[in-house]
Amino acid sequence: MIYVCPLSQVHAAIRQLTPSHLVSLLDPKSMIETPPGIVRGRHLRLSVNDIAEPREGLVLPGESHIREILDFVDGWDQRAPLLIHCWAGISRSTATAYIALCHLNQGQEYDAAKKMRAAARHAQPNRRLVALADTLMGRGGRMIDAVAQMGQGEFDMEGDLFSMPAKL
């Protein structure tokens, strides 16, 4: 299973779910150390801001971040959950979960987006992360289109913990 949550729920989610792998997507000043219960080498820490266009003083998600996500997902054996979080559990983390689903389920971009919307009314995947992954993974715009078809998520200051099966 792939789980997504906001930063405020990470420690509780680790205790409850006992994930083997953790992805943290936070701005550089807010990045966390590897929490208890997670092996350091199984914690991917991506220091990126939740932006889609360059802004002075902020870290724009780039192709290297997508490559790190894909390599990390390849190293996850799926015997225990993968937990992904960002600050609010709405944008960067949902984009990363969507990218992971698309990577694990070739050709199921639209099904992955539908699963995400059904599981998380608040999900608003970061469009830049999705667009970069679409290009890098050779999906011909299907990932971008599928996320656009999800529509805007319901407004929330912080998302709730949700899950999706790794295999669709």
DSSP 6: E
- pLDDT of 153 > 90? The answer is no
* Tokens describing residue 42: 């199984």
Higher pLDDT pick, 99 / 155 = 99
> What pLDDT shows up at residue 154?
87
pLDDT 10s digits, 33-92? 999 999 999 999 999 999 999 999 999 999 999 999 999 999 999 999 999 999 999 999
CATH number for the domain spanning 108: value is 3.90.190.10
How many independent structural domains does the chain possess?
1
Distance CA 45, CA 107 (A): 28
R_g of the chain computed on alpha carbons: 14
* Tokens describing residue 126: 């970061």
Which residues sit opposite 4 in a β-bridge?
Answer: 84, 162
Question: Residue 91, Cα to own-chain centre: how many angstroms?
Answer: 8
Which residues sit opposite 43 in a β-bridge?
Answer: 22
DSSP for 124-143, written as a single string = ---HHHHHHHHHHTT-TTHH
Per-residue pLDDT band at 155 (split at 50, 70, 90): confident
pTM of the predicted protein model: 0.97
Domain that holds residue 29: 2-164
Q: Residue 40: phi, psi to the nearest 5?
A: -50, -40
**Listed range (2-16, 129-143, 149-163) with the worst mean pLDDT:** 149-163
Which residues sit opposite 83 in a β-bridge?
Answer: 3, 22
Mean pLDDT, residues 107-125 taken together: 97
Cβ within 8 Å of residue 101, ≥6 positions away: 2, 108, 112, 115, 116, 164, 166, 168
Nearest partner of 88 among 3, 7, 2, judged by Cα:
7
Per-residue pLDDT band at 24 (split at 50, 70, 90): very high
Provide the residue type at 3 as one letter.
Y
Nearest partner of 129 among 86, 68, 66, 59, judged by Cα:
66
Residue 31, helix vs strand vs coil: coil
